[in-house]
Structure 1
Amino acid sequence: MTERSEEYFRRIVDVDALEEYLEDELDPVEEYDVRRHQEGHSNETLFVTWGDLELVVRRPPPGETAETAHDVLREFRVIDALQDTEVRVPRTVLASDDHDVMGSDFYVMEREEGDVLREAEPERFRNPDARRAIGEELVDGLTEIHQVDYEAVGLEEGDFGYPPGFTERQVRRWSEQLEWAFEVTEAEREVPVLHEVREWLESNTPEDPPSTLVHGDYKLDNVMFGPGDEPEIVAIFDWEMSTLGDPFTDLGWMLSYWWDAKDPDPPEGSRTLNATFMAGEDYLTRRELVDRYEAETGFEFENERFYRALAVYKLAGLGEMFFRRHLEGNADDPMYPKMEQGVPSMADRAKRIIEGEEPL
C-alpha cells in the first residue's frame, strides 16, 4: 500500500472504532482484519474478517458529495426489504448512522463468493452455452427486480419513491449533479456537448412509462456469478440509487455497458468504464437482451434512443463528479483523473445515440 493509499484508508475507516462497534453488536472474536476493496468507483467497500464471518462494510467516500448520491442507508433499506423475495441480494447484518464509528453512515452485510465480470469472463465460462447464459442471467436478474411487489415488502409509493414524473426528474437530477461537478471542473475544461444532450433529453422525455422497483445502477459488474460451471447470479450489488420509477431507465443503463460487435471501440479516456468482451463471439447482442426482457416482463421498450442516451448522460454525470472529487483530493482512484478526457468522450457517445449513429 502506498503512503497516499494508507492515508486514504485511515480517512475511510477507524479500525479500532469499527472493532469496538462490532464487538458490541456481534460479540468479540479473536480474528479481525479490514481490507479496502478497490474495484468499485462510488461508495467505499471494505472487506472485514470477523472471526468465522466474512463481512462487507459499505460507506460513502470522504469529503463533500452531491446531494442524493452515496446514500448507503437507503441501499441497506432496499436490500433488507428484499431478503425474502426472488431478487438475489446479500444477507444484511447491521446498519448505523453513528458517525463516531466511521465518520459517516455505514452498513454491514455478509460477503458472497463468486466472480464479478469486469475485464473478461472466467475460464469456466469460456464456451458458447455459458457466454449466452451470462446475458440471459443478467436480464433475468433485472426482470426479478422489476416484478417485485414493492409495497408488499415495505417500499411504499410516496415514501421510498414517487413514480409520477420520475423520468423527467431523472433528467433534471442528473443535470443538477453535473452542475454540482462543473462548479470545480469547468476551471479545468468545459464539456459543451453535454448541454446539447440535456436539451434533447428534456424535449424527448417519454410520458406515462410503467412503474416498478428500480435498481438505479444495474449492469454486468454489479452482479456476482457463483462459483459453479454454469453462470448463475448469486448477488446483485450497489443499490444506493434504488427507488420506484421507470424500469426502462434500468434497461437503458444496463445496455449502455453492454458492447456489441458492431460498436466502435470505447473512446480513449472512458475505457476503464467500458469492458468490451461481451462483443465477442457467442454473447447475446443488445437486441437479444431487449427481446428477452420484453418477453419476460410484457413491457415494450419504446423510445430506446432516449433511454440509452439518458444512461450515457448519467454516466457522464458520474464521471464528472468523480473528476471533481479527484481535483479536490477526496479520492484515491486512478480512474478519476481519466475523466478529464473520459467525460467529453461519453458526451460524444450520447450524441451519436441520439442521432442514430450508434444503434441498438
Structure 2
Amino acid sequence: MSEPVRTSTRHLPELRDRLATWLSGRLGTPVAVSEVSRPSANGMSSETVFFTASWEGTRERCVARLAPAPEAVPIFPVYDLRTQYDLMRLARRKAGIPAPRPLWFEADPGPLGTPFFVMAREDGEVPPDVMPYTFGGWLCEAAPADRRRLQDATVGILAALHDARFTHQEVPGLGAGGLREHLRAQRAYYRWAHGERPVPLLERAFDWLEAHWPDDPGADVLCWGDARIGNVMYRDFTPVAVFDWEMAAIGPRELDLAWMIFLHRFFQDLTVDMGLPGLPDFMRPEDVCRTYRELTGHEPRDLRFHEMYAALRHGIVMARVWLRRIHFGELAMPDDPDDLVVHRATLERLLTG
C-alpha cells in the first residue's frame, strides 16, 4: 500500500473545463475553475476532485464528489450521491456534526457524465491511508494526550450522530434498516463484487456470522457507515470535517463502533507485520467503548460479532479494490482468491477465536 492507487479514468483538464461550463450555467455568470487536483493519500471509492471556482469577486475552494466511471471498476454497484448530499446537510443541522458545507447537487449526468455534488473545502490534516498513518507522520509524532483528545472527539461524532433523531422520511435512500437487512445487503454486494471468482475466506466469515447471531441486535440508529479517522479532517486534533457518507445505513450502533475499532486494527496489523510499532495504544476497544458509554449511556454489546462483521465487510471492499488494481495493471491476479483480502491473516485469526 505504498504506491498511490489509481481510482479514475477521467482527465483533470477535461473535468476543469466541464466544471467551469456547468458552474457558469448554474450561477448565471462566467466562472473560472483552477487548481484542479485529486487526493493522493485517501479515497478509493467515489472520485474526489479538488478545485477553486472564481466569479464576480468571489473565490470558493471546492471539492466535487462523483461516482467512478464504469470502466474504472467501481467499488460499489450503486452510488447514491443525492442521499450522501442530504445526509451531510442533516448531520450538520440535526446532530451538530461538522460535515462539509454542501454547495450544489447536480442530478443530471450530462455535465460530468454522472450525477455529482460539490461541497466547501476545509483546511486541516487527515490521517492518510497511503502510507497508513500508523507508519509515521503527524499522528504518530503527536503527544499521547493529543492523540487521546483526537480519539475521544472522533468517538463523540458517533455519539452525536447516533443520539440524534432521524426519520426514515428524511433518509429514504437508506431503506428500512435493521441488522438482518444490513447483512442481506452485504451478501448481495459480495455476489456483485466477487460472484465471478468467489473468495472462500469471506464465505466462511458469512457462515460464522450466522452461527453467532446476536440474541438482540438492539435498536436502529443512523450510522455513518465508513466511521474512521481517515474520513475526518482535524485542526489541533479537533474534527473540522466529517466526510465519506456513501456507506451510511440504518442499523445498530455497534456497526459504526466496531468499524472504527477494526479499521485502526487493520492499519495497526499491517504496520506490525512490517516490523514497526504503529500505535498500539490508540483506538483500543475498551477505551472507545468507555468513551462512547460515557457520552451516550449505551453499553456496547456483541462486539466480537460486530468486529467479525466489520472484518468481513472490509474484506469485500478491499478485495474489490485489489481487482481494480489488477484491472489497471498495478497487481497480478493471485492464485489463491483469499489473497485478495489484504487482512487475510487478521480475518483468519478472528475465525479461529
TM-score range (shorter-chain normalised) is: 0.7 to 0.9
Q: Which ranges of structure 1 fall in alignment gaps of 5 or more residues?
A: none
**Correspondence list, 1:1-360, <5 A:** 8-10=9-11, 14-26=15-27, 27-30=29-32, 32-38=34-40, 39-51=42-54, 52-63=59-70, 65=74, 69-85=78-94, 86-118=96-128, 119=133, 120-122=136-138, 126-151=142-167, 155=170, 160-163=174-177, 166-184=178-196, 186=197, 191-206=199-214, 207-226=216-235, 228=236, 231-259=237-265, 265=270, 277-279=278-280, 283=282, 285-329=284-328, 343-356=340-353
Q: Cα distance 1:245–1:336, how it changes in 2: closer, same or farther (>3 A)?
A: farther
Instruction: After superposing the two structures, state which structure 1 stretch, 334-343 or 75-84, moved more.
Output: 334-343
Q: Cα distance 1:25–1:115, how it changes in 2: closer, same or farther (>3 A)?
A: same
Residue identity opposite 2:11 in structure 1: R
- Does the CA-based 8 Å contact 1:312-1:347 persist in structure 2? no
Deviation at 1:167, TM superposition (A): 1.2
TM-score, normalised by the number of residues in structure 2: 0.82
Spell out, residue by residue over 1:18-37, the C-alpha distance to the aligned partner (whole angstroms, 9 max, x if none).
21111122332345342122
Deviation at 1:117, TM superposition (A): 1.1
Q: Cα distance 1:67–1:49, how it changes in 2: closer, same or farther (>3 A)?
A: closer
Q: Cα distance 1:337–1:249, how it changes in 2: closer, same or farther (>3 A)?
A: farther
- Structure 1 distance, partners of 2:285, 2:74, is 33
- Does the CA-based 8 Å contact 2:225-2:245 persist in structure 1? yes
Residue identity opposite 1:182 in structure 2: H
Residue identity opposite 1:221 in structure 2: G
Q: Which ranges of structure 2 fall in alignment gaps of 5 or more residues?
A: none
- Structure 2 distance, partners of 1:5, 1:259, is 24
- Structure 1 distance, partners of 2:13, 2:257, is 33
What secondary structure does 1:55 align onto?
strand
- Does the CA-based 8 Å contact 2:162-2:253 persist in structure 1? yes
Q: How many residues align?
A: 331
What secondary structure does 2:50 align onto?
strand
Q: Cα distance 1:336–1:91, how it changes in 2: closer, same or farther (>3 A)?
A: farther
Deviation at 1:345, TM superposition (A): 4.7
Q: Cα distance 1:9–1:111, how it changes in 2: closer, same or farther (>3 A)?
A: same
- Does the CA-based 8 Å contact 2:8-2:47 persist in structure 1? no
Instruction: Indicate the RMSD between aligned Cα atoms, in angstroms.
Output: 3.4
- Structure 2 distance, partners of 1:337, 1:65, is 18
TM-score, normalised by the number of residues in structure 1: 0.80
Q: Cα distance 1:130–1:17, how it changes in 2: closer, same or farther (>3 A)?
A: same
* Percent identity over paired residues: 22
Deviation at 1:172, TM superposition (A): 2.4
